[in-house]
Amino acid sequence: MNIMAEMSTAFVLSGYSENTVSQQSSPGILVFSRSRQLQYVNRRALELTRTTGQAMTELGSIALPSRLLALRDQIQEILDVRLRDNIWEPFEVSRVVSESGQRLLLRGFGHPDREANHDSRIIIVLEEFRSAEKDENHKLCA
């Protein structure tokens, strides 16, 4: 499994002119607690993680791709430092992950909670990239 990642910490992602995030599909969303426990996952996130070779396992537990878990861990480390330093603004860390011709934009958000640090959250949004050519073909078929 050959996975390559590009990383950006900007809120506005520029430089992706030859590729656009698919507007036809909804994003995948995962929400983790500060203790890194998965609290919410939508169906689209499950679909997108399945296409990267992951799937639901027995008893409903979910196997998540290592790149997604690495992003979660990185956000947690940043969140811990920011909470320690009393920095309360939300932040974003983004990566583009490519595997077997599929490209996903992973946007991770750290949301500190000033009132109760244990209520801070990590939100990861997964969006599928499509080339302009694929989008044009999709419009013709629709």
The separation between CA 77 and the C-alpha centre of its own chain, rounded to angstroms, equals 16
**Rounded CA gap, 123 and 126, in Å?**
10
Domains and CATH numbers, the chain: 4-11+19-141 (3.30.450.20)
| Best CA proximity match to 127, nearest among 4, 22, 13 | 22
pLDDT the model gives residue 119: 84
Distance between CA atoms of residues 97 and 104, nearest Å: 5
What string of DSSP letters covers 40-85? EE-HHHHHHHHTTT--B-GGG-B---HHHHHHHHHHHHHHHHHHHT
Burial of 110 (0-12, 13-18, 19+ CB in 10 A): buried
Is pTM beyond 0.75? Reply is no
pLDDT tens by residue, 53-66: 544 443 357 788 88
How many other C-beta atoms can be found within 10 angstroms of the C-beta atom of residue 64? 17
Nearest partner of 36 among 82, 83, 74, 1, judged by Cα: 74
Residues of the chain with pLDDT under 50: 1-20, 22-23, 54-59, 133, 135-142
Would you say 120 and 142 are in contact if contact means Cβ atoms under 8 Å apart?
no
Q: What is the pLDDT of residues 116-136, one digit of tens each?
A: 777 899 999 999 987 554 544
The predicted structure's pLDDT at residue 14: 37
Q: Taking a C-beta distance cutoff of 8 angstroms, is the pair 94, 10 a contact? A: yes
Instruction: Give the pLDDT confidence score for residue 24 in this predicted structure.
Output: 54
